[in-house]
């Protein structure tokens, strides 16, 4: 493999129902920085049916080029059809770095593509950088084995691939003045050759409304002691119109269902206000919430790592603090429109 034949940073633009996923725009933001450092172009790869109009959004999002394959067989995501397109493009244009959102479909696609391209893939990355001298992607993720990060490198294979967690990178402000090139490719795909068929997609609205989109989150940790005490957090959440989430330990204790877990193996959240109550602040948790605007930590251990990421910290017993907070908030009328005012 001649490594120097491979050039440019690519981002897989995931669209569902002709709407580009947020993580793809975030990756254009992150990819832009990598491409500028390496002094190469940034390209988006857009696949689907009737998706050509989305190409301009990829350019305003930061790309110099967009590779588009528009085909009826690509209407719904399927590993086999999507990977055929990616293989065609990657073998023809040879990117050196290729990023995917760590969504169910993004991970599925990247895993299949990495196998066929016989290259390295880093899963669930939360930090990205490049070693410019060696043209190496530095993809970092929390390591199993401690509150530490591991940087994964792929030295001798190209493209260097990574899936990246949603909501950890920042999208750019759309720049409508940006110019870019749209490169359309054709592929021959026949529905009869497909070994999978998508019959029906039931959109999951409940999940999105609960955590990822929440403005205020009350997250409880194992330190709440038991399910009954954990109930205090629901009361607080209700009083202020927040959503409730938890750490993995809380989910494993059965106090919350898995889809409310926040962290590396749960949801990544970026609310305006995040209450971390009796949460120790393990790195696997912190990577899922540290980009919240205001973090309020309540923990009885003054040395708990959660205080390192907190905007405001209260050292104290949650069982004492939370009821008091609920009382205080109950004094504050919260209007229908969402405005809070002192009476």
Partner 1 sequence: MHIVVCVKQVPDTKIIKINPKTNTLDRRSAPAILNPYDAHAVQEAVKIIEKTGGTISVLSMGPPQATAVIKKSIEIGADRGYLISDRAFAGADTLATSYALSKALERIGKDLPVDMVICGKHAIDGDTGQVGPGIARRMDIPPVTNVIEVTEVNEQEKTVLIKRKSTNGNELIQADLPCLLTVEKEINNIEYSPLPNMIKAVRYEPVIWTVADLENVECTQLGLKGSPTIVGKMFTPPKPEGGKRLEGSSDEQVKQLMGILMEKKELLTLQSSK
How would DSSP label each residue in 74-85? Answer: GSS--HHHHHHH
Burial of 196 from C-beta contacts in 10 A (0-12 / 13-18 / 19+):
exposed
Binding to ligand FAD by CB under 6 A, coded x per residue (else -) over 254-283, reads -------xxxxxx-----------xxx-x-
User: Which residues inside 186-225 make contact with ligand FAD, applying CB under 6 A?
Assistant: 221-223
> What x-and-dash track marks residues 133-162 binding ligand FAD by CB under 6 A?
-----------x------------------
For residue 92, what is the DSSP state?
A: H
Q: Which is nearer to partner 1, 184 or 320 (CB)?
A: 320
Please list every residue from 21 through 50 that binds partner 1, using CB under 8 A: 21
d(CA 119, CA 325): 53
CA proximity to 259, closest of 295, 336, 205: 205
- Cβ closer to ligand FAD: 152 or 182? 152
Residue 318's binding partner, choosing from ligand FAD, partner 1, none, with beta-carbon cut-off 5 to 8 A by kind? Answer: ligand FAD
Nearest to ligand FAD of 86, 298 (CB atom) = 298
Nearer to partner 1, 26 or 124 (CB): 124
**Which CB sits closer to ligand FAD, 40 or 279?**
279
Q: Of partner 1, ligand FAD, none, which one does residue 221 interact with (CB within 5 to 8 Å by kind)?
A: ligand FAD
- Please choose, from the candidates 99, 129, 114, 121, the residue with its C-alpha nearest in 3D space to the C-alpha of residue 37: 129
| Close Cβ partners of 90 (under 8 Å, ≥ 6 residues apart) | 10, 98, 113, 117, 159
Residues 237-256 that bind partner 1 (CB under 8 A): 240-243, 252
Binding flag, residue 341, partner 1 (CB under 8 A): yes
Nearest partner of 267 among 300, 293, 299, 244, judged by Cα: 244
Contact between 325 and partner 1 by CB under 8 A: the answer reads: yes
Structure tokens at 150: 């591991």
Per DSSP, 52 falls in state G
């Amino acid at each position: 493999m001649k490594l120097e034949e491979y050039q440019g940073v690519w981002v897989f633009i995931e669209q569902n129902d002709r709407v580009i996923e947020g993580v793809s725009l975030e990756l254009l933001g992150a990819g832009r920085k990598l491409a500028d450092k390496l002094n190469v172009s940034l390209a988006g790869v857009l696949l689907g049916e009737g998706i050509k109009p989305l190409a301009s959004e990829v350019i305003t999002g930061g790309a110099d080029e967009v590779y588009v394959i528009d085909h009826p067989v690509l209407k719904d995501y399927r590993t086999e059809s999507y990977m055929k397109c990616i293989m065609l493009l990657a073998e023809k244009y040879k990117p050196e770095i290729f990023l995917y959102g760590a969504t169910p479909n993004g991970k599925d696609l990247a895993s299949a593509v990495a196998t066929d391209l016989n290259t390295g893939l880093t899963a669930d990355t939360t930090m990205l950088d490049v070693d410019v001298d060696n043209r190496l992607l530095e993809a970092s993720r929390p390591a199993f084995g401690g509150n530490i990060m591991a940087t994964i490198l792929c030295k001798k294979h190209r493209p260097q691939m990574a899936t990246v967690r949603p909501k950890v990178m920042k999208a750019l402000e759309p720049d409508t003045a940006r110019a870019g090139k749209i490169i359309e490719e054709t592929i021959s795909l026949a529905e009869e050759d497909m070994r999978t068929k998508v019959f029906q997609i039931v959109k999951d609205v409940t999940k999105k409304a609960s955590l990822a989109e929440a403005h205020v989150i009350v997250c409880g940790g194992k330190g709440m002691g038991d399910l009954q005490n954990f109930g205090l957090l629901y009361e607080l959440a209700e009083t202020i119109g927040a959503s409730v989430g938890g750490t993995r330990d809380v989910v494993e204790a059965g106090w919350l269902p898995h889809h409310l877990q926040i962290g590396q193996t749960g949801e990544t959240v970026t609310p305006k206000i995040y209450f971390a109550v009796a949460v120790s602040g393990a790195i696997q948790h912190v990577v899922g919430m540290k980009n919240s605007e205001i973090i309020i930590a309540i923990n009885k251990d003054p040395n708990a790592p959660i205080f390192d990421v907190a905007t405001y910290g209260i050292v104290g017993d949650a069982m004492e603090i939370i009821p008091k907070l609920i009382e205080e908030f109950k004094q504050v009328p919260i209007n229908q429109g969402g405005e809070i005012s002192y009476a």
